[in-house]
Amino acid sequence: MSQTADQKRKLAGDAIALMTQLDVEPSPDNYSVFHTYCAGTKPELKRAVDVLIGSGNAIRQAALDAIRDEHLAPSLEAAIANLGAEMNGTLTGVLEHIARAARDTTAYEKTLSAASGELGGVNSGHDLTKLVGTLLSATQAMEARTKDLETELHRSSKEVEDLKSKLDDVRMESLTDPLTGIRNRKALDLELERAFNNARTHGEPLSLFMCDIDRFKTFNDTWGHQTGDQVLKLVAQCLSENVKGRDTAARFGGEEFAVILPQTELADAVRLANAIRKRVESKKLLKKSTGDILGAITISIGVSQLTEADTVETLVKRADSCLYAAKHGGRNLVMAQTEIPGNRAA
């Protein structure tokens, strides 16, 4: 049943009031989560938000982004299903043309066979001319149908290639953060699982670091969300410029980023983390309209390395703990697992 204008206004007010109560940043993405929550149209999203609220802790932006990506993002499966339907239609057309060609070939073979049988009964030039005319006509028709089939197969082949390209684009889009252009949380999870399994299989080191932009909320509150987006893009650029080859940089959610470093020991990961931290710190955020410097950007980073007892979850959790230690240690710091009490032996 459609809502009245008053019901829509009440729903919008409830969502905004709840965001204010929970001290959640009033961004469009967060509003979409809480509007859906208050509407009750997605029970799984509602349960996920209830868990956050029930924890009694401050709600982290990364957690809200993860809920939005999981429950409100466009479905990759739906896009693939649409492309699959298109490809199925193309292949069905090809099969129909092949079946028709097979029928034509059978008919042509019958014509040739009949003509072969009639040759013994030819008694005059007129009969021979008539028989040759029949064969010539059948052969020309067969050539025309064969040419049509080749044209159709060529066209269908191009359609399949175009659909494959679209499918690759959809997959890449589903794994890319639209704002920063680097990998998103889904891509991070997939790549981390792959890197974890490779490290286990080959006995290689694997390091991970989690990054968080210091005082990001202050940038948003002071200069607005467009400036906040500029900060996110700048940090993502610093990560992508310094992470190469087999390594993966991704936006974890909100103002948090992560970097997966296969075949990398903890000490080397820490050195890279400090190089990126210094690179970000050297950047100055400018107001485009005036050229005024809005302030320096800094990040805090937590670094962990895979141990024999680790799962993917514990590796991430330890890097996250190191990140918060860096935050509490004064920000603009890199903190490794060996510097955290209880992790020295890890």
Q: How far apart are the first and last CA of the chain?
A: 57
Using DSSP, state whether 295 is helix, strand or coil.
strand
> Per the structure block, which two tokens stand in for 202?
């080959």
Taking the C-alpha atoms of residue 175 and residue 169, their distance in angstroms, rounded to an integer, is: 10
Compute and round to an integer the Cα radius of gyration of the chain.
32
Active-site annotation holder among 25, 191, 255, 256: 255
Question: Residue 301 is inside which H or E element, if any?
Answer: strand 299-305
118 is catalytic: no
> Per the structure block, which two tokens stand in for 263?
């075949």
Whether 294 and 227 have beta carbons less than 8 Å apart is answered as: yes
**Buried b / exposed e along 169-184 (16+ C-beta atoms within 10 A):** ebeeebbbbeebebbb
Residues carrying an active site annotation = 255
